[in-house]
Amino acid sequence: MLRTIRLHQSLLGLLLFLGAGNLFAQTASLAGKVTGEKGEALSGVTVRLKGTNKSAATNESGTYLIQGIAAGTFTVVFSSEQMEASQEVINLSEGQSLVLDKQLSAKSVGADPVVIIGYGRQNRRDVTGSIARVSGKEIAELPTPSFEAALQGKAPGVQVVVGSGMAGSASLIRIRGVASISAAGDPLYVIDGIPVSQDYFLNRANGSNYGSGFNNNPLATINPDDIESVEILKDAAATSIYGSRGANGVILITTKRARKKGLKFDVSTRFGISQPTRKPRMLNGSEFLQMYQEAWENDGRTGTPDLGLINVNMTWQEAQKYSTNWVDDVMQTGYKQNYNITAGYTNKWFGMKTIVTYDNNESFLAGNNYQRLSGRLNTDYKPLKGLNISLSNSLSRGINRRVDAAWSGGLGSAMSTMLPIFPKEPLLNSNGIGFRTPVGLSTIRELKDWRSIELRSINNLNLNYEVSDDITLNGSASYDYMDYGEFLYEPQELIRYYSPNYVQNGVAKWFPIWTANMNYYLTANWNKKITPNHGVNVMLGHEYQNARTTSKSVENLDATGPTDKVAIPDTALRAFGRTPYEWAFLSYFGRANYKFKNKFNVQLTGRVDGSSRFGRNNRYGFFPAAAVGYILSDEEFIKRHDWISFLKVKVGIGKSGNASFDNYARWGTITPSGNLPQYNGQPMLAPARLENQNLRWESTRNFDATLEGSLFKSRISFELTYYDKSTRDVILDVTVPRTTGFFSMYDNVGGIINRGVEFVLKSRNIQRKNFQWNTDFNIARNYNEITSIGVYSEDAVSGGTNDTRVVVGYPVGTNFLVRFSHIDKATGLPVYLDKEGKETMKWDPANRLPVGDVLPEAIGALNNTFSYKNWDLAANIYYSIGGDIYESSAKRQLGVQTDWNSDARVFDRWQQPGDDARYPRRTLNTFTYGSTTPWINTTQWLEDGSYVRLRSLSIGYRLPASAARKYNLDGARIAFVATNLLTWTNYTGLDPEIARDFESPTDRNMSGSITYLTAPQEKSYSISLSVNF
Amino acid sequence: MNYMILKNRTLAAALAVFALGAFIAGCDKMIDTRPENELLVEDAVQSSADLQKLLNGSYNEVANTYGGFYQVISEFMADNLSLPNNNDYREVFNHNTLFFNTTLGSLYGNLYRAIFRANFVMESFPLAADLNEADRNRMEGEAKFIRAMCHLTAVRLFAHPWGYSADNSQPGIGLALKADRKPLVRSTVAEAYTSIINDLKDAATLLPENNGNYATKYAAQALLAEVYFQQGAYNDAAIQASSVINSGLFTFSDTLNRFTSKGATEAIFSVVSAGINDNRGGGFRDNYSPGLPLCQVSRQFFSTVSSDTADKRLAYYVTLNKGQANELVKTNLYNAPLFNVPVLHLTRLHLIRAEALAKTATDLPTAIADVNKIVGRAYKNNNRILAAGSTATQVVEAARYQRRMELMFEGDRIHDLKRLAAVEKQNIIVRGHSWDCRGFILQFPISDQTSIFPLNPTGGCD
């Protein structure tokens, strides 16, 4: 790249003066100013004369000076962390004072110089795998139920479905599709070197009335403000170093460490409010009665309708008196607050960063919030040359005040069984008999004390020793401890609503779980530049991880308060031990890189994993990968084209696995007599599980090809990727034929393919001194297909509630439903289609077929950022196109009139012959719609769930540097952020972004598109203020 | 120079530490975590006593099935009961069962869990060092008895009956003969019966005459008599029945009610209720005795029962809300808090032998005596006592009538109807549904559909 060398008039005098100072030495000098693309001064840029020891760094005004240069021809290299390196060749004659200004361009967007990879870091340039990086700033700035939700839209091919608006709710993250069925399909989360405890099914919600769903989110205690960066490893070249656990991608979380010299503080706070994206519009009292009467008459009945048919002990006249809006009864405007203090200090041999954050996140559901108080201390010591000791410690306490929702009550009841004809209180008729439900929703909420409290501490000690210039040893030991307890207290007053004669005090329950998770690894790294053109880097490592979970449940049936507040007398205590479990991994791994001329990289990785979960016949799995990266833009034939700034092609192939399934499925076991009843007065033993010593990891072969580059002086950068993942030995928790004597067992039987394209385009549309406009766009399409499920049928594996299935030739979790055709105009009855497509009035499950699109055809994001002087504005749009949603609860809201309320969609029902209605005639009779059961799954409740969502909109103002200095500040910023402000969709249900409360890992993989009274997402507005000094 | 040595030593030491770490870690034990609340098979099954407990686990499933569950489902297929107010049982009653019917899935699961456990016992013999030959034979006999009984129930309920086709090649059931995880192919009905008969023959040889509350040689023979009877192999049925009756170990009692807490003297094999907290007759008690029970007697059957007022068994029937729209008839036979359920008993064998001997016309006097034993106990007068010279047809007719009156809720009616249709070629129609229509057999649970195991056709009998 040719640059003009020119004398800078304004500096001339200064240089002449300096030159004069060196009068006696007849050497040359070099000086100049280094600026960025916008003309801003760049400090800290290293200016070096190649082949000499002469170098200098630019000062705050961007100028540099190198003196005492002997005359000659030199290559001047300008380099810094943030900017693309650049070089110039100059000729210096004796005594000359040359001025060389330089404009540097930022490294291509998102391409930070160094990225974190498994067990190390790598220059972005050398990376051969597919790794997306999200900065901590992007995560911390967005108010979300839990940090992982903020990854949405940040990286292509990473599908993030935010759980719901409930505080602390878990998001569903899928990296390049689902490659698992019964093994957890979530990526592996590694925080500062330890794969953390991330079991979503560690503890079912014991406090909900039905004992499932609403599980604890194991990531909710992680403080977003602690995060320096998140690296998402997507392909085998990047993940196979994690062996049997990398197949669904790896999310590496690196926490902040001190960087700046001296003592620095960041103080920030945020306030906000929370509302639902949409409120359910349920029928009011008179509307409900109107629908009921219509059903009553449609069924051929006459006279005053009897509400006894739906188990309501209420006369018609009584019912007409009330119209309660139960949705309003459970909703509120939630308030959010966040305070964060970060202090950093570094000197030559010591560095520390401490972060203290308090966050209180109230959701729009009354009584629901998540409070987190977290502290972190990350320290680095360099006691000896070459030795670096790093400690990372965090302690976080999360308190989730929980409320019932979906099928367990709360908003779910407001959308279903809490009829508008029930008064708020009391729910008793004149005879003291409950109308049906004896107590209102807000009363339950106020009386029931239901919290989960989690204490989480993630700690790491890392020793890094540079034995020689070439060899580095690294040892790391981590401990991730989780103390999670769910506390439930139902006072006597609440219990008496259900059991009026209850004499004891309240019932208190405590469900504690402790998980101790430790690992250590050792790596040895040899890095050698053999000749100027050939470099090698070889790393060998060994890792061991062990995690143990113990738990119990404690009940106090005569309690005056929750167990964490009122001690339990021994007489009232009932404690049940629960089975502890433990798992372990033992691994050996290695990585070799060969670099040719800084433009051609070859990387080989391999890992051998042994796990306690693998059967005796498959103790160790080997996971190799090979990848090449080739920087085409360093070749002459590309260099010729000025408009191409950078061009790189990467191709990788490899194998990785998934081993997150039942810990003990390989063992043949017997339930001991003590845990079984007797027969004939004699003890018995019963086989609990059949041995399967062949059980092993799922194995995914992964091919990835990427073209990345930047054009027009890096104004536009892009990345285009094709991948093809083929998984075999897929673990199915297969519902086995009952003839085996069991209901289900784990087996490696299935095959799944995931194929897709990802595209990222980043454009710096306008780059003026005072105004910048950047656009980032990404889009990903994933094709998913089950290729085999052994001899088993579609029904062998099901999502929680009969809705989704595994069907060969279709994606994981395909809806398997009887097809609904239309509402018959003459009779108002639903018309179904049989397998051949013939119309029938009978619903027969034998006519089920795979239907709909369970997975979206495209997902992605469009992010625009504008900055004008000290103002900035960012609008992030997330979209998901072409996926269907199965609204499982609609069959009860809009089908046969049972004990549920309907929503306003029901007005579009058939009323008289000739009506072209969307929903069938109202009826109270189970059999009217041609089935033997009242609630039947058909495609009538399957809808297009495409949406485009303004995920976040933020406006910020940064205090000008001059003003900041006046107050002795390094910087200050105020910002307004709104999330989920607008949604465009044709979906008629509540919210098209759905990740319902899953029942099992299988359900989590299979029922992503099912909703059942699921709470909508949150719409939030917040203001944040941060100050650095 | 010194510096280099120091450096090399440091390097060597560091590498040694690294290698040591790797070596220590190379131990398989580190990844050998074991389940803590369950026993590994090799730890749990070491002695003959352990095998006995495993076998008792199989009996437990037998009890869960034959303590009324199987009998109730069977009766809803036939014509002794009226339309139940329960969706799953309604499907059975309407002869249109869906593969999502969880009640049926659970019955079917119980049957095969009992079979699995029986197979598991037999395959675990090598684990018990102290197992003697007598115990081994006994346990094998019991296991095979259980296996045969459960297979028989499955093939009777889920497949078209013996005689449905000339060679009985109609789809049968899965024959679970090993305790492994392999999905089964669907055998033919002929194959199922062959397997059942072989198991029972083995059991009759292996089992002792006395075995407490567990299966004996005579239990196996009594069941074998039922199998032959179902096949219309009346000669064989009579031989097996005679062997049991003539053993003298079982006493025909004058007490009409066989469902007693002490166990009937005529019982050959029973589901045992060990105590008030371990009542195994709940399938009868809970479905027949509540105020408004699931199982209500059909009008047609009750009019047959009540047509002979001399029948002492009429006392078992209660009419509620007489003359009103909600009139119902139920039985009070199972109102006791605790009773054993006799599954195989002398009454059945006498009725089998009577009909079998009459059909083969080999020994009419014994057949007449058998019928009269039942009749003599059941009636206030002697009107129905068969005369010494009664014809075979009269004996058959009387035996069949008494079968229905005597075994009214014991699950036999549907199998009798099917035998009369498929073997005796009578035209049997229940609630407008011909005996050979699609829905006249139960549907398997959807879990059992595999590429090698097709389910029954859907759509009921319409």
Looking at per-residue pLDDT, the higher value among A619 and B3 belongs to A619
Residue A522: which of A544, A489, A494 has the closest Cα?
A544
Provide the pLDDT for residue B267: 95
Helix residue ranges per DSSP H, A540-639:
636-639
Provide the pLDDT for residue A166: 84
Q: Is A564 exposed, middle or buried (0-12, 13-18, 19+ CB in 10 A)?
A: middle
Looking at per-residue pLDDT, the higher value among B111 and B8 belongs to B111
Residue A680 to chain B, least CA–CA distance (Å): 5
Q: Name which of A139-143, A522-526, A948-952 the model is least confident about.
A: A139-143
Q: Examine residue B334 and state whether it is found in any structural domain, yes or no.
A: no
Provide the pLDDT for residue A203: 65
Residues of B in contact with A741 (CB under 8 A): 112-113, 115-117, 120, 176, 179
Provide the pLDDT for residue A798: 66
Contact assessment for residue A930 and residue A453, using Cβ atoms and an 8 Å cutoff: no
Q: Element (H or E) spanning B117, and its range? A: helix B102-123
Would you place residue A994 in the very low, low, confident or very high pLDDT band (cuts 50, 70, 90)? confident
Strands A849-851 and A858-868: unpaired
Q: Examine residue B404 and state whether it is found in any structural domain, yes or no.
A: yes
Among A760-769, A846-855, B210-219, the range of highest mean pLDDT: B210-219
Contact assessment for residue A334 and residue A369, using Cβ atoms and an 8 Å cutoff: yes
Mean pLDDT in residue range A636-655: 90
Look at B44 and A685 and tell me if their CB atoms are within 8 Å: yes
Contact assessment for residue A611 and residue A584, using Cβ atoms and an 8 Å cutoff: yes
Provide the pLDDT for residue A409: 85
Residues of B in contact with A737 (CB under 8 A): 174, 183-184, 447-448, 450, 453
CA distances, A323 to each of A284, A292, A906 (Å): 6, 14, 18
- Find the closest chain A residue to B38 by CA distance: A671
CA angle A420, A424, A427 (to 5 degrees): 90
- Examine the pLDDT at B6 and tell me if it is beyond 60: no
Looking at per-residue pLDDT, the higher value among A9 and A48 belongs to A48
Look at A687 and B38 and tell me if their CB atoms are within 8 Å: no
What does A728-786 look like in DSSP terms, one character per residue? Answer: EEEEEEEE--GGGTSSEEEEEEEEEEEEEEEEEEEEEEEE-SSEEEEEEEEEEEEEEEE
Provide the pLDDT for residue A10: 42
Look at A690 and B181 and tell me if their CB atoms are within 8 Å: yes
Look at B31 and A612 and tell me if their CB atoms are within 8 Å: yes
Residue A14: which of A68, A65, A62, A52 has the closest Cα?
A65
Looking at per-residue pLDDT, the higher value among B40 and A142 belongs to B40
Would you place residue A19 in the very low, low, confident or very high pLDDT band (cuts 50, 70, 90)? very low
Nearest CB among B18, B184, B458 relative to A524 is that of: B18
Look at B53 and A673 and tell me if their CB atoms are within 8 Å: yes
The residue type of B206 is L
Report how far residue A834's alpha carbon sits from residue A109's, in angstroms, rounded to the nearest whole number.
Answer: 54
Provide the pLDDT for residue A107: 62
- Examine the pLDDT at A966 and tell me if it is beyond 90: no
Residues of B in contact with A844 (CB under 8 A): 98, 458-459
Q: Examine residue B296 and state whether it is found in any structural domain, yes or no.
A: no
Provide the pLDDT for residue A396: 94
- The residues, ordered by sequence, that sit 6+ positions from A9 with a Cβ below 8 Å of its Cβ are none
Q: A265-296 pLDDT, tens per residue?
A: 999 999 999 999 999 999 999 999 999 999 99
Average per-residue pLDDT for chain A: 87
Q: Examine residue B333 and state whether it is found in any structural domain, yes or no.
A: no
Nearest CB among A692, A740, A796 relative to B116 is that of: A740
Residue A741 to chain B, least CA–CA distance (Å): 4
What does A947-1007 look like in DSSP terms, one character per residue? Answer: EEEEEEEEEEEE--HHHHHHTT-SEEEEEEEEEEEEEEE---SS-S------SSHHHHHH-
In which residue are the tokens 């019982």 written?
B267
Residue A62: which of A44, A84, A38, A78 has the closest Cα?
A44
Look at B112 and A546 and tell me if their CB atoms are within 8 Å: no
Rounded to 10 deg, the angle between the B346-360 and B217-231 helix axes is 40
Report the residue of A517, A576, A679 to disrupt the B interface, i.e. the one with the largest count of B CBs within 10 Å: A679
Residue A811 to chain B, least CA–CA distance (Å): 20
CA angle A561, A566, A571 (to 5 degrees): 95
- Examine the pLDDT at A610 and tell me if it is beyond 70: yes
Nearest CB among B15, B26, B453 relative to A737 is that of: B453
Would you place residue A997 in the very low, low, confident or very high pLDDT band (cuts 50, 70, 90)? confident
Query: Encoding tokens for residue B247?
Result: 């053993």
Q: Examine residue B220 and state whether it is found in any structural domain, yes or no.
A: yes
Strands A369-381 and A350-362: antiparallel
Look at B14 and A542 and tell me if their CB atoms are within 8 Å: no
CATH number of the domain enclosing B206: 1.25.40.390
Provide the pLDDT for residue A22: 43
- Find the closest chain A residue to B455 by CA distance: A846
Domain of B419, in residue numbers: 42-276+340-435
Nearest CB among A467, A579, A795 relative to B37 is that of: A579
Q: Element (H or E) spanning B364, and its range? A: helix B364-378
Look at A738 and B445 and tell me if their CB atoms are within 8 Å: yes
Report how far residue B397's alpha carbon sits from residue B386's, in angstroms, rounded to the nearest whole number.
Answer: 11
Residues of A in contact with B32 (CB under 8 A): 612
Provide the pLDDT for residue A18: 41
Look at A743 and B447 and tell me if their CB atoms are within 8 Å: yes
Would you place residue B3 in the very low, low, confident or very high pLDDT band (cuts 50, 70, 90)? very low
In which residue are the tokens 């070596």 written?
B23
Provide the pLDDT for residue A445: 87
Q: Name which of A113-127, A666-680, A696-710, A809-823 the model is least confident about.
A: A113-127
Report how far residue A246's alpha carbon sits from residue A652's, in angstroms, rounded to the nearest whole number.
Answer: 15
- Examine the pLDDT at A816 and tell me if it is beyond 70: yes
Provide the pLDDT for residue B16: 65
Looking at per-residue pLDDT, the higher value among B233 and A94 belongs to B233
Q: B22-79 pLDDT, tens per residue?
A: 555 557 788 888 888 888 998 999 999 999 999 999 999 999 999 999 999 999 999 9
Would you place residue A430 in the very low, low, confident or very high pLDDT band (cuts 50, 70, 90)? low
Contact assessment for residue A612 and residue A583, using Cβ atoms and an 8 Å cutoff: yes
- Side-chain-side CA neighbours of residue A706 (13 Å): 28
The tally of domains found in chain B comes to: 1
The residue type of A344 is G
Look at B15 and A524 and tell me if their CB atoms are within 8 Å: yes
Q: Examine residue B8 and state whether it is found in any structural domain, yes or no.
A: no
Report the residue of B31, B103, B158 to disrupt the A interface, i.e. the one with the largest count of A CBs within 10 Å: B31
- Examine the pLDDT at B259 and tell me if it is beyond 60: yes
Q: Could you give phi then psi for residue A703, rounded to 5 degrees?
A: -115, 140
Give the percent of chain A with pLDDT over 90. 48
Q: A321-371 pLDDT, tens per residue?
A: 999 999 999 999 999 999 999 999 998 889 999 999 999 999 999 999 999
- Find the closest chain A residue to B96 by CA distance: A932
CB pairs under 8 A between A and B: 231
- Examine the pLDDT at A14 and tell me if it is beyond 60: no
Give the percent of chain A with pLDDT over 70. 94
Mean pLDDT in residue range A755-775: 92
Q: Is A552 exposed, middle or buried (0-12, 13-18, 19+ CB in 10 A)?
A: middle
Residue A619 to chain B, least CA–CA distance (Å): 9
Average per-residue pLDDT for chain B: 92
Would you place residue A23 in the very low, low, confident or very high pLDDT band (cuts 50, 70, 90)? very low
Q: Could you give phi then psi for residue A411, rounded to 5 degrees?
A: -60, -35
Q: Report domain extents, chain A.
A: 9-103
Strands A534-559 and A506-531: antiparallel
- Examine the pLDDT at A37 and tell me if it is beyond 80: no
- Find the closest chain A residue to B212 by CA distance: A680
Nearest CB among A692, A741, A845 relative to B112 is that of: A741
- Find the closest chain A residue to B452 by CA distance: A791
Q: A842-886 pLDDT, tens per residue?
A: 998 889 999 988 889 999 999 999 999 889 999 999 999 999 999
Report the residue of B3, B5, B29, B41 to disrupt the A interface, i.e. the one with the largest count of A CBs within 10 Å: B41
Look at B446 and A795 and tell me if their CB atoms are within 8 Å: yes
Look at A612 and B18 and tell me if their CB atoms are within 8 Å: no
Which of 3.40.1740.10, 3.40.140.80, 2.60.40.10, 2.102.10.10 would CATH assign to domain A9-103?
2.60.40.10
**Which DSSP state fits A222?**
S
Q: Examine residue B33 and state whether it is found in any structural domain, yes or no.
A: no
Nearest CB among A522, A668, A673 relative to B41 is that of: A668
Q: Examine residue B18 and state whether it is found in any structural domain, yes or no.
A: no
Look at B450 and A791 and tell me if their CB atoms are within 8 Å: yes
Residue B173: which of B461, B458, B454 has the closest Cα?
B454
Residues of B in contact with A668 (CB under 8 A): 40-41
Look at B183 and A792 and tell me if their CB atoms are within 8 Å: yes
- Examine the pLDDT at B297 and tell me if it is beyond 90: yes
Q: A464-503 pLDDT, tens per residue?
A: 999 888 899 999 999 999 999 889 999 988 888 877 788 8
Look at A544 and B30 and tell me if their CB atoms are within 8 Å: yes
